[in-house]
Amino acid sequence: MSDLRPRPLDGITVVSLEHAIAAPFASRQLADLGARVIKVERPGQGDFARAYDTRVKGLSSHFVWTNRSKESLALDLKQPAALAVLKALLAKADVLIQNLAPGAAARMGLSFDALHALHPRLIVCDISGYGADGPYRDKKAYDLLIQSEAGFLSVTGTQDVPSKAGISVADIAAGMAAFTSIQSALLLRAKTGEGSHIDVSMLEALAEWMGFPMYYAYDGAPPPPRAGASHASIYPYGPFPAGDGGTVMLGLQNEREWAVFCEQVLGRADLLADPRFASNAQRNAHREALHTEIVTAFAALSTPEVQARLDAARIANAHMNDMADLWAHPQLAARQRWQGVPTPAGPVQALQPAGRSSAFEHRMGAVPAVGQHTTAILRELGCDEAQIAALRAARAV
C-alpha cells in the first residue's frame, strides 16, 4: 500500500540543467522531499555522468546515486525550438538549477535578471566552481581541483603524501549548499511572493567545511599536520592493529576516557603517571611512543577482543569497513534503510535519505532513461503530435 501522506515539497516543480554531481545531488534531494524534478539532458548521450562507469547493471554508479525520482527531458538547447520548449517549461516552474559552463546559461537568456523580469516567483540557483564574479569566475573547476584550492589536500593524507578524498567532497558540499539554499528561498518566497537568485560556489562550499583547520591555523599558527586516518590533533584517535591482523578504529575525547582506556582496555594503569601522556597535548606530542604502548597491548588480543574491551569501557570504536561491509551493515539492515528503486537496467537497492521523518516517507522513484519523459512533457506543454514529430525530425529533442 502506497504512502499518501503529503511531502514537504509536493507541488514544487524544479527544472535542472545539470550534469556531473553537484546539481544532480541537490535536485535529487529536492525530489526526495516530493518536488517534481525535470532533468534536461542532451538528446542521445544525456548527462555525461551516465558514462562514468558501468558498475550498476551496466549503468553508472554516480548517475544511479544522484538521479532517482526524476523525469528526463531531452533537449538540444543549441536549437531555438528546443530552447523555446525550455522557456515554456520555466514559465510553470518554481526553481531552475544549472551548473553549465560559466556564462552558458546567461548566453541562452537564462540569467536570473532575464528570467526574473518574466517570472518574478522563479528561484534560480547557479552552481559553479568559483562563483559568478571575482578573478576565478571563468576557471574550469573539477572536484579534485577545488579540493586543492580549498586547502583540503593540505590536511588529508600522510606526512609524505597528500591525498584527495575518495568521494567527490567538493561537489557534495556544493550540492548540499544548493539544496539547503533552495529550501530557504522557497520559505522566503512564501513570505515575500518573490523568487531569488542563489549563487553557489564549490570553493566556498568546501571552504566552509574546512572551518576547523582554518581556525586551527588562525593568525599564522601552524596548520594541522596530515595524519592519515588518525586525528591531526587528538590522540589516541585513529586506526590500531590487533593481534589477529585486523584493525580497530578508536577515539578518546577527554581525560576521563584516557584513564578508563589505560585501566580497563590496556591494563596499564601505570601510563596515567607517565608525564609524556599527562594531557591530550602531551599525548599528541608523543604519539609515536604511545602508539607503541597501545600496539604492544593489543598484540595479545584479537580484533573482537579489543572491541569488546572498548565497548565495556564505553570507549568509542568502529570497524574499518569496506563497501561490501557497508552494503551488509547490520545497523542499516535493522533500521530498514534499504529500498528497491527501478532503473532502465532493472531494480537496484538504494539507501533511503538520512533524516527519517515521522510525518512522511521520502520519495524513492525510478532512475530515468535519457529522454524517457520527453514526449509526455511536450504534450503537457501543449505540443501536438505534428509539432513533436517536427522537433524529433530536427533532433531538437
* Residues known to be catalytic: 171
Continuous segment of H or E residues that includes residue 340: strand 338-341
Half-sphere exposure of 52 (CA within 13 A, CB side): 15
Tally helices (H) and strands (E) across the chain. 18, 11
**Measuring CA to CA, which residue among 8, 6, 50, 3 is closest to residue 30?**
8
Helix axis angle for 80-90 and 385-393, nearest 10°, is: 130
| 197-201/237-241 β-pairing | unpaired
With a CB cutoff of 8 Å and minimum separation 6, the contacts of 319 are 248, 249, 307, 325
DSSP letter for 128, please.
E
Instruction: Tell me the C-alpha distance between 250 and 233, whole Å.
Output: 14
How many other C-beta atoms can be found within 10 angstroms of the C-beta atom of residue 290? Answer: 19
Check: CB of residue 90 under 8 Å from CB of residue 386.
no
Q: Is 40 helix (H, G, I), strand (E, B) or coil?
A: strand
Instruction: Tell me the C-alpha distance between 392 and 397, whole Å.
Output: 5
Q: Omega into 236 within 30° of 0, i.e. cis? A: yes
What residue type is assigned to position 355 of the chain? G
12 CB burial (10 A radius; 0-12, 13-18, 19+): buried
